[in-house]
Chains A and B, each alone.
Chain A
Amino acid sequence: MAATEQTNEGVIVLSDNPKLTRRKRRRMILACYSAAFLLATVAVYLLHFRHVSVFRLGGYFPLLLSFIIVLGGLRLGGPVRPFSRRIGAAAANQPLIQLRLGSRKHPPDETFLDERDIAIGDHVHCLAMSILRCATFLFVLALWASAVFHHPAWLPVVAGIGSFLLFVAAMSLPQGIILRAEPDPVPEPSAQIAGVPQ
């Protein structure tokens, strides 16, 4: 099933692979964020403890990799694509979110969202905002406490990389929540209803 086909698999079209069920989506989201966190930890290690390469560029490579893993880089076509609310009537029935794992196809930017899609979008943005607010508060509190009581040398590195992780989360969390929570598309039970064309 091509990602850009208007076959109405639902709000979410799961790349070219129809076997990407909700369970697999959840694992994928967990794997994405775990990988991003792991790479950020590697970046902290490289930047602070190893002082790698010229201008420390080597230390930023894991961060770049995590950016690509979660958001797909500058073209923003990775597993968790940033949310778009641009509405175009011409692109009717385009899905809200498209995963393009292993595919370089880019669908039209204009996306048709009906009232349920918009309600889901609003809900997950609200939820993501609450999560990020707590995460940012705890992060800033931890930094402040470290700075006041210990003033460790690694503080600037951790602050920078933590901010980067928060940025990645801010860009991708709403979609991550949708991908985690949205149920699998239910096929139309037309065979059970007499009179409905097969």
Chain B
Amino acid sequence: MPNGPSSSNGPGKLYNRIAVLRAERSLSRQDLADALDVNYQTIGFLERGDYNPSLALAFQIAAYFNLPIEAVFSPEPFRPLSEQVYGNGRNRADK
């Protein structure tokens, strides 16, 4: 089965924060799917990294969460949001 515009098994794997953003906003997959006009299962495939969205859908998702696209999708694994916002404990202790 295809994994989208680029394969998620090869170097084209795209990481995303959809699950975290959805949880933060108390949205179910169905809510998000309705808002984006996609199937419910597609959200699951996106969250698990089994499917890479098209550029149009990626921008649509970023716009829905009111975030820049690089905050939602990245070719590199994301650092935890808490670490990114507050820095890790060692950095804070140093300050």
User: Is B38 in contact with A115, judged by CB distance below 8 angstroms?
Assistant: yes
Query: Interface readout for A46-82 with B: 1 if CB under 8 Å, 0 if not?
Result: 0000000000000000000000000000000000000
Range, interface on chain B: 20 to 34
User: Is A115 in contact with B41, judged by CB distance below 8 angstroms?
Assistant: no
Range, interface on chain A: 20 to 34
Question: Which residue of A has the minimal Cβ distance to B4?
Answer: A119
How many contacting A-B pairs (Cβ < 8 A)?
Answer: 66
Of B9-17, B28-36, B70-78, B84-92, which binds chain A? B28-36
Distance in angstroms between the alpha carbons of A196 and B57 in the assembled complex: 23
Known: A8-B33, A93-B40, A123-B2. Is A116-B45 also a contact (CB below 8 A)? yes
Query: Interface readout for B14-29 with A: 1 if CB under 8 Å, 0 if not?
Result: 0000010011101111
Distance in angstroms between the alpha carbons of A186 and B19 in the assembled complex: 14
Question: Which residue of B has the minimal Cβ distance to A190?
Answer: B28
Question: Which residue of B has the minimal Cβ distance to A188?
Answer: B29
User: Is A196 in contact with B23, judged by CB distance below 8 angstroms?
Assistant: yes
**Which chain A residues lie closer than 8 Å to B28 at the CB level?**
188, 190, 196-197
User: Is A11 in contact with B41, judged by CB distance below 8 angstroms?
Assistant: yes
A117 interface contact, C-beta 8 A: yes
**Which chain A residues lie closer than 8 Å to B1 at the CB level?**
120, 123, 181-182
Best-buried of A9, A10, A122, A185 by chain B (most CB within 10 Å): A10
Distance in angstroms between the alpha carbons of A186 and B40 in the assembled complex: 11
Checking A9, A10, A116, A195 against B38 with a beta-carbon cut-off of 8 angstroms, the contacting residue is A116
User: Is B57 in contact with A115, judged by CB distance below 8 angstroms?
Assistant: yes
**Residues from 110 to 145 in A contacting B, C-beta threshold 8 Å:** 112, 114-117, 119-120, 122-123
**Which chain A residues lie closer than 8 Å to B37 at the CB level?**
92, 114
User: Is B39 in contact with A188, judged by CB distance below 8 angstroms?
Assistant: no
A-B contact pairs, 13 of them (CB 8 A): A8-B33, A8-B41, A93-B39, A93-B40, A112-B39, A114-B38, A114-B39, A116-B4, A116-B51, A123-B1, A182-B1, A188-B28, A195-B23
**Which of B's residues lie within 8 Å of A, judged by CB?**
1-2, 4, 19, 22-24, 26-30, 33-34, 37-42, 44-45, 48, 51, 53-54, 56-57
**Which of A's residues lie within 8 Å of B, judged by CB?**
8-11, 92-93, 112, 114-117, 119-120, 122-123, 181-182, 185-186, 188, 190, 193-197
